[in-house]
Structure 1
Amino acid sequence: MNDLPIGTREIFKSDFLPSYFDFLGSRTHPFDMSENRLVVEQQFIWDTYLESFPVNITPRSPVYNLVQQRSYEWKAGFGKAAFAAVSELWALDEDRFGTAFGRAEYVKWALGWRKPFSWENGDDFVNPYHGPLLLAVLAKHFDETNGKYGYGNPCGALALSATAVGRALSAWSSGNLEKAADFGAKLSDGEWVSIINNALAPHLQGHTDTTDSLIPDNDDEDDRSLLVSGPQLPP
């Protein structure tokens, strides 16, 4: 924060960063935008909340570098939230999840056909995009953005939430916690395009049945594709 102009730190934390995270969370490719696109949005948000402290944001300028650092911390936070959510799940039902076998059985089910973890009722595939673990992670994003900036449907945040939960569950696949991949690793543009296309393909083909059409039947589909295609968020 030492690179910020004097007098801007509190507004930067309370308004600039939440607004910028809301922007990132509403992008289908939140980490594959050009530097120029990021600079334009950063400058717009700065001028909105900190107009009395003129700053010219450019790629690799002090403010830009600070925002990028906070952005990757925001992304990594999804992974931390997912591991916390899974750990809380184990603690809620020690009779079922108190053994490695019980945890491994749940993970096998949760990551199975149609990714049951992403549904409110994963046994009957009822109410997609409302899986308790997934919503617990997405809530972290809503908490950080304060729910007041209006960038729109948080499709990127949904995708990151799905990825985070999938990785957290995979780390427990043996029933004991294994070392998980770094959630801060960069997602390539090709990965994001594949994720979005998998989610949107059924709509482009004219399907209308929500329960069947939004979830690909291929067990190898990326977990993130389950959550990207514009669901109605819970109130």
Structure 2
Amino acid sequence: MPTSPSTDLKDACTDKLSLAVWAQGVEVPTVFNTTGNKRLAGTAVDMPPSKRIKTDEVRKEERPDTMIETSKPVWKNSHLPPGCLDSNTWRGVFIPTIAYAAGGENIDPWYIDNNMLVRILMKAWKVVYGKLSSTDNPIYISSPVYDVSKQRLDEWRSGFGSAAIMMITSLIASKSITAAYERQSEFARHWLYGNRFLFENASSNDKKEWTGMWQSTFILETFSAHLVYTQGRVPVDELRSEEQLCRTALALSAAAVKRTFNLLSTGKMSFEIRTRTAVAKGKKNAAQKSDVPASNGDLWEASISNDETFSEQLWGYDSRMFLKAIMCVPAENMLEIIENAKPFMKAAARGGGSETDSVPEDKDFVDLFDFR
């Protein structure tokens, strides 16, 4: 069932003026340099205190003296405790479990406090691998388990950006939208206008009639990449993992989709198109993982400017502002969003996308905080 307009969401949020201005598509905190239009980091907003995961101080005696080093080693999977990788338990169970916690509630999209991360790792480790030894605890700040887990979480965040790129590339290729920059830019601006890309139903000229916020195909398909990544996770009662509603993951999904349309609208995302004839020539022209097939048999591959990564520096502000709005969405609506994303998991797993119908453009703004 699509969500309906309400003023409660707006009233429930703090910092109403800046939120409303940002939600209408006017990004006041965004600044531009004098040599180009590269987006610079916005000011991070304070997240509400955690209701799910408490931050506990890690006692100094739990940290070995070897932590104090002049140069930090680069830990890899081979440095993990013996048996950790057996039966694909690390990548198939442990990492999905901590990624699910990182994408839950009241967790900053881009930064988890060191002590909080240690606590998450410890609680997850006890469920996945068994009780931790008081004399040989493998989890502490800068330990192999800690650092490799952080690496995997960085990859998890980057995955939202990759999923959105592949999804939009698939859409453009399947709809046979011309390769001309002007046409693609027009297409992207259409969806960026008023944050239209968030809504499932946005055909009305009256923005207050737009419904299904956070349930557009763009959002659901990108969000489904998180559901795919966290398959294999196990419940962790001490983290109340079954109560987590993936709000942070949804915020990252929205930021990733917005970034993709922004790249497309400014020409910082382009496509290499290999014709059906070239594809058929031989193995060296075989489809790569990042290739997306068009309706005519051509293969499309997206190319992104090197300085436009999906990162906290460029998209931290938007991610946190999205999260502030998402934190006000009722739990039953979040459960509905999660269920509606599940049919897209197959497309997310193969790196492709599904077709999305276009919606007529209008020129008014929309205040996201009037919707649920």
* TM-score of the alignment, normalized to the shorter chain, above 0.5: yes
Query: Shorter-chain TM-score: what band?
Result: 0.7 to 0.9
Q: TM-score, normalised by structure 2?
A: 0.50
Structure 2 CA distance, aligned partners of 1:37 and 1:92? 43
Choose from 41, 56, 72 the match for 2:120: 41
Q: Deviations over 1:148-201 (max 9, x none)?
A: 54352111001100111111111110466262621133589877664444556x
- The equivalent residue for 1:3 is 79
The 1:17/1:187 distance shift into structure 2, 3 A limit, reads farther
Aligned to 1:19: 97
Is 1:122 aligned with 2:202?
yes
After superposing the two structures, state which structure 1 stretch, 23-32 or 178-187, moved more: 178-187
Q: Over aligned residues, Cα RMSD in angstroms?
A: 2.8
Written as runs of structure 1 = structure 2, the 5 A alignment for 1:2-151 is 2-9=78-85, 10-28=88-106, 29-51=108-130, 54=133, 55-94=137-176, 96-113=177-194, 115-124=195-204, 125-146=210-231, 149=235, 150-151=242-243
User: Structure 1: where are the runs of 5+ without partners?
Assistant: 204-213, 215-228
Find the residue that maps to 2:78 and give its secondary structure.
coil
Find the residue that maps to 1:111 and give its secondary structure: helix
> Which stretch of structure 1 is more off in the superposition, 2-11 or 168-177?
168-177
Deviation, structure 1 residue 133: 1.5
Identity of aligned residues (%): 24
Shift of 1:21: 0.6
Deviations 1:75-134 (A, max 9, x none): 01111111101100101111x444333321211110002x11111123232311111111
SS in 1 for 2:200: strand
CA separation in 2, counterparts of 1:5 and 1:86? Answer: 40
Equivalence for 1:173: 265
**What is the aligned partner in structure 2 of residue 159 from structure 1?**
251
The normalised TM-score by structure 1 is: 0.77
2:292 paired residue number = none
User: Match for residue 12 of structure 2?
Assistant: none
Structure 2 residue runs without a partner (length 5+): 1-76, 205-209, 236-241, 271-303, 340-372
Higher RCO (CA-CA < 8 Å; seq separation 6+): 2
